[in-house]
Amino acid sequence: MRLPGQADVAANLLDVRRRIERAGGDPDGLQIVAVTKGHPASACVAARKAGLAVVGENRVQEALAKMDEVQGVDWHLIGHLQRNKARHAPRFSLVQSVDSVELADAIARHARVPCLLQVNIAREAQKFGVAPEAAEEVALAVAERLELRGLMAVAPLGGDPVPGFRQLALLRLRVQDRLGTALPVLSMGMSGDFEAAVREGATMLRLGTVLFGRRTP
């Protein structure tokens, strides 16, 4: 597999920004998280040099190893965090995958970290996240324990992402009303569906393949 270089990532990022604009979004107003799961640390460096300041990792151990090699970026955890690894949460500037009050409790024992509540908008058994009907109450409980900044979701595999994205956007509004404070982050949209996410109000995109090509398993 040819490793992505700085020129490759920069060219891919330019194309992404054009697609965001065509979808009606502001490329400068959206946060792009470069998802480097399965890619070497050099991909993180290429992303940084292309102008991307945030790197997202799915696995704690892979992220920690890359943190030792790559400086100058913020790290987001976007994959499931097991409670027995909650001590590592403070290493990340944002934990996007808090999906239960119990996990929030485990993290809070170490620090009041910034986080997103992951909602399983697709109701797929193989995916993590709180059920949509429970999201408001869980969000309120998480906000008592951690610094809740918004909501995150993964669209259904192979299905229409729009209904789920709309549901997540409405959920954020309801949680904001109940908290009485703004939740600035709506993290939805990946390489295959980010244009739909832009049209539905995403503020943060998690992009891997469209920037770096196919990853190793």
The mean pLDDT of 175-180, rounded to a whole number, is 96
Pairing of strands 74-77, 94-98: parallel
* Cα distance between residue 24 and residue 78, in whole Å: 25
Task: Report how far Cα 38 is from the mean position of its chain's Cα atoms.
Answer: 16
How sure is the predictor about 211, in pLDDT bands with cuts at 50, 70 and 90? very high
Question: Helix or strand or coil: residue 147?
Answer: strand
CB atoms within 10 A of CB 37: 17
Tens-place pLDDT, residues 25-82: 999 999 999 999 999 999 999 999 999 999 999 999 999 999 989 999 999 999 999 9
Q: Indicate the angle between helix axes 101-108 and 135-145, nearest 10 degrees.
A: 10
* Cα distance between residue 104 and residue 54, in whole Å: 23
Q: What's the pTM?
A: 0.95
Sequence letter at residue 211: L
Inform me whether the pLDDT recorded for 3 exceeds 80.
no
Answer yes or no: are the C-beta atoms of 87 and 121 closer than 8 Å. Answer: no
Residue whose C-alpha is closest to residue 36's, from 84, 81, 69 = 69
Inform me whether the pLDDT recorded for 2 exceeds 90.
no
* Cα distance between residue 186 and residue 47, in whole Å: 22
Sequence letter at residue 87: R
